[in-house]
Amino acid sequence: MGLAAAYHAVKAGHDVEVFEAGPVPGGMAAHFDFGGLSIERYYHFVCKSDHPTFQLMDELGIGDKMRWVDTKMGYFIDGKPYAWGDPFALLRFPLMSFLQKFRYGWSAFKQTKQANFDHLEHENAKDWIIRDFGQDTYDLMWKRLLELKFYEYTDTISAAWIATRIKRLGNSRKSMLQETLGYIEGGTQTLVDALISAIEAKGGKIHLGQPVEEITSENGTVTGLRAGGQAHSFDKVISTAPTPLISKMVPALTEAEKGAYDAIKNIGVVCVLVKLKKSVTPNFWLNVNDQRMDIPGIIEFSNLRPVDDHVVYVPYYMPVTQPKFSETDAYFRQEVTSYLKMLQPALSDDDFIDMTISRLKYSQPICEAGFSEKIPPVQTSIEGLQIADTCFYYPEDRGISESVRLAKDMAAKVN
C-alpha cells in the first residue's frame, strides 16, 4: 500500500520519499531467497475480481505477467481428505445430509450475488453461519477453523467480513465447476520491482531500514517525520503502518483518535514455509479439521505458481498473547513436519528439503461485528496526514488489490 501510494503521488507530480522499516521494500508482499527460490514470506494469490491489481499492472507495463490456474480446494477431517469447492464435490461429500448440502450450496451461492453485506454488519459470523448454513454444518466445517485463527475472539468476528471472503473466492471461477486463481509471473516481487522502478524513474526516493519514530506536526498541520534519529520535512504524509503503532508514532493526535487506533486488535502469524520433494495434496488450499493438528489449513503454493519443488505454507494465526506464538523455531519445525506427514503419509524425512519460519505481530485485524464503526477516518485531525492499514479494507480482507485501491484514493487526496 505504501509503494502504491508513492507511485500514484509521484505520478501526479509530487516529490515523494518512502520510509520502509524493513530491509527490503514491499511489506508482506516482499520476497526472500528460499534456497535459490525467490518467493513471498507470506502467501498471496489473485482473484478474478481484483480489478485494482490488474489496472495497476497495466499502468506499470506488466499486465502480461498475470497468470491464471485452475485450482482445487479440499478438507482434511479427522484423518481423511475430501474434495471440496464445486457442486459435484458437495454432492459426493459423505459427512453431510442432503438437506445440509442443499443449505450449504444455496447459502454459498447467495453470497456471490450480494451487492454488499450491510445487513450483516452488526451480526457475528457464528450466529449468521448457524442460521444460514445450519448448526451441524457450522460445527463440522467452520467452528474449529475459526477457533484456530481467532481463539478467544471467535464468537465476535463479523459476519459481513466472512461473507465478503466467501463472495470473493466464489466469484473467482471460470465456471460453476472450476475455481480459478491467479499469480503474478515471478511472484509479487515483479509488482514490487515495477513500482520501485516507476517511483525512482520520476525522482522518488526509497529509504530502507528506516522505521519512522515520529510523525511531526505544528499547529495542527503535519511538518514531516523523524526516522533514524533524523528529522525530515514534508507537507503531506501518508502512513500505512499497522494501527497498533500509530498512537505512539503520532503523539499530536487527539486522545480520542489514539483511543480509536488502540482499540483495533490484531492477531499475529507464525508462517512456516516448507520445500519438499513430494506433494502433500493436489489442492491449493486444504482446510484442516483434525483434533491432532492445531492449524486451520495449509496452502500448497506450488499448485498455483509452478516452481521446481513442492512448496507449502503452514500459517499459525493467533493473538500474540497465546503462549504458542512465543515457541521456538525448532518447536514449529518439529510440529509442522509431523503435521505434513499426517496429511500425506507417503512423506519421509528425506522428502523435506528446507524449512523457514517468519513471524508478524500484526498480520490480521480482528474485524468484530460492527467493525465499520470502529475504523477512524483516513484523514486525521492533523492537516496533511492520512493514516490507513489493512483494517481500512473492511469488509474486504487484506490483500494486494485492496492495498492498491486504497493507496490510489489516498494519493488522489494529496494536493
Task: Write a three-state SS string for 261-329.
Answer: HHCCCEEEEEEEEEEECCCCCCCCEEEEECCCCCCCEEEEHHHCCCCCCEEEEEEEEECCCCHHHHCCH
Contact by Cβ (8 Å): 82, 288: no
d(CA 238, CA 18): 10
Which SS3 state, helix, strand or coil, does residue 223 take? strand
Question: Cα–Cα–Cα angle for 339, 357, 399, nearest 5°?
Answer: 95
Output the tens digit of pLDDT for each of the chain's 415 residues. Answer: 999 999 999 999 999 999 999 999 999 899 999 999 999 999 999 999 999 999 999 999 999 999 999 999 999 999 999 999 999 999 999 999 999 999 999 999 999 999 999 999 999 999 999 999 999 999 999 999 999 999 999 999 999 999 999 999 999 998 888 999 999 999 999 999 999 999 999 999 999 999 999 999 999 999 999 998 999 999 999 999 999 999 999 999 999 999 999 999 999 999 999 999 999 999 999 999 999 999 999 999 999 999 999 999 999 999 999 999 999 999 999 999 999 999 999 999 999 999 999 999 999 999 999 999 999 999 999 999 999 999 999 999 888 999 999 999 999 999 8
Q: CA 257: distance to chain centroid?
A: 25
Q: What is the reported pLDDT for 176?
A: 83
d(CA 15, CA 198): 13
Residue 397, all three cell numbers? 480482507
Strands 266-276 and 212-218, bridge-based pairing? unpaired
How many other β-carbons are positioned within 10 Å of the β-carbon of residue 35?
Answer: 11
Q: CA 198: distance to chain centroid?
A: 25
Strands 205-207 and 17-19, bridge-based pairing? parallel
Which SS3 state, helix, strand or coil, does residue 246 take? helix
- Cβ-in-10-Å burial (0-12, 13-18, 19+) of 49 comes to middle
Which residue in 365, 375, 376, 387 sits closest to 250, CA to CA? 387
Q: What is the reported pLDDT for 99?
A: 95
Please tell me what DSSP assigns to residue 43: -
Rg (CA), the chain: 22
Q: What is the dihedral of CA 320, 325, 329, 332, to 10 degrees?
A: -140
Which residue in 31, 53, 33 sits closest to 42, CA to CA? 31
> What are the b/e assignments for 303-322, b being 16+ CB within 10 Å?
bbbeeebbbbbbbbbbbbee
Q: What is the reported pLDDT for 177?
A: 84
Domains in the chain: ranges and CATH: 2-44+187-264+375-412 (3.50.50.60), 265-365 (3.90.660.20)
Write the CA distances from 203 to 206, 212, 316, integer angstroms.
10, 21, 40
Query: Which uninterrupted H or E stretch holds 11?
Result: helix 2-11
- Looking at the DSSP assignment, which residues form a beta bridge with residue 67? 183
Backbone angles phi, psi at 59, to 5 degrees: -60, -35
How many other β-carbons are positioned within 10 Å of the β-carbon of residue 225?
Answer: 24
Q: What is the reported pLDDT for 278?
A: 98
Q: What is the reported pLDDT for 104?
A: 95
d(CA 385, CA 221): 8
Q: What is the dihedral of CA 80, 85, 91, 94, to 10 degrees?
A: 20
